Structure 1
């Protein structure tokens, strides 16, 4: 499947010396190949790039002068999706988890799985320990939390969302992640764009979704239910939103109206393959070798 997206982020920098860290470039992974890309920065400033070896996230860093700053990025990406039968995917025992997966078992800033342990065990502890339990958690969050724009803050955590029962995509993701970790299922926060979202929710935007580690690989889930997972282009992943911001700003800066777009385009064979919803387990991740011993 070939997807093309564009991100334009305009700012008004009020004082020279404001620092920015962006994470808007498509991650390069064995299942996600960047066919072509173009980066434009309106100010003539040095750019520094760093790729996180664990997540594949690509960090772009710059220091801006005062005045207008626009960062624009375009990419065409080929994605190879893996589709599996959910009934054939069992959970991975903690003793068999690869070392790189272990950090996603623990509580984090926005995902207080320790606080939610009792609640999670009551709701999901007796379910079959496989993909179906993760799907049950995803569906529970989708049913019990309402999508309400502007209903949360940058400091809103999973426990707050469970209490308020409303939020935006990052809040849905944090709650699902916390509930998964509370029943010993590794889960991570992943960012992309909201392909297929209802225009009534607003213009295209960055999107937070969840990947849970079951059956030896990371599978994708969208607890907000607002987008089509097959249309997600991976930007980065982490323990929660603290690891995965699309833009971090240090200094006196006013963000202007951003512009995003994403669409399916014909692949190298000339065939257009559009993302669709599927009942199958969906992954864009390679299998991870289990722990030795």
Structure 2
């Protein structure tokens, strides 16, 4: 299948303001892009692209006084298959993990393993290591939390989420991946497009989505604690230790968000 994705994000600014954006499709999906991904600005300003330490594509620009509109669009080929389910995937001993994966066992800004390790082991210590353990974690988080945009807060950590029992997709991902790290399973945060493909359409305005990946049997596997079912049409944009590493935009000065529109939809052949 082919999926059309894109966004339009507008900010107001009183004075020229440097920005870093993370709005490109992830390099792991470059070969799936039909033609070229286009990211433009209005007014037109130069964007310099670079890769961050996690391999994500970032853009640097200066928003002019008055503000800026960021627009992106791409057509992406997709298998049309749901997220793979691999029940036999195994948890590797820490001494067998690649050096660059060890980072995803460590605490990070929103994922305080030190505060949740005792809780994690009390909840999941008797589960079978590997895929069954991760599935038990995802099932617990999915059942423990209530989803609602009114529960969103940019400073909320995994420990806060566990205590409050509510959050948005990033909170579901933060709590689940923190529990995984507590159980010595490397886990990283993911952000990207996830349209209503193969599921009933959600009437709420579309947003970018947050999920997570775990490292089992030598590769990364996708899990989604909010939806807790394999989904079709997931298009990765960025990965990191947690949401702090994959901020869509970072401004170095005061800017006010005035428009936020995201699309991700299957292209139906004529």
**Residue 204 of structure 1: aligned partner:** 206
Task: Check conservation: 2:142, 2:225, Cα contact below 8 A.
Answer: yes
- TM-score normalised according to structure 1 size: 0.84
Match of 2:86 in 1: 86
Aligned to 1:174: 174
Q: Which runs of 5+ in 2 are unaligned?
A: none
- Tell me the residue number matched to 1:287: none
State how far apart, in whole Å, the 2-side matches of 1:91 and 1:201 are.
38
* Residue in structure 2 matched with residue 282 of structure 1 by the alignment: none
Q: Which residue pairs with 1:218 in the alignment?
A: 220
Structure-2 change in CA distance of 1:193 and 1:123 (3 Å): same
For the 8 Å contact 1:14–1:66, the answer to whether it is kept is yes
1:29 is matched with: 28
Contact 2:177/2:212 (8 A) holds in 1: yes
- Secondary structure of the residue that 1:114 maps to in structure 2? helix
TM-score, length basis structure 2 = 0.91
CA distance in 2, matches of 1:148, 1:199: 17
1:240 maps to 242
Unaligned runs of 5+ in 1: 273-293
> How big is the alpha-carbon RMSD for the aligned residues of Structure 1 and Structure 2?
2.3
Distance 2:259 2:44 in 1: 22
> The residue matched to 2:74 in structure 1 has which SS?
strand
- Aligned partner of 2:133 in structure 1 is 133
Aligned to 1:288: none
TM-superposed deviation, 1:155: 0.9
Alignment size in residue pairs:
266
Q: Which sits farther off after the overlay, 19-28 or 29-38?
A: 29-38
Whether the 8 Å CA contact 2:105–2:187 is kept in 1: the answer is yes
Could you say which residue in structure 1 is the equivalent of 2:73? 74
Could you say which residue in structure 2 is the equivalent of 1:165?
165
Tell me the residue number matched to 2:146.
146
Hey, what does 2:187 align to over in structure 1? 187
Distance 1:47 1:88 in 2: 44
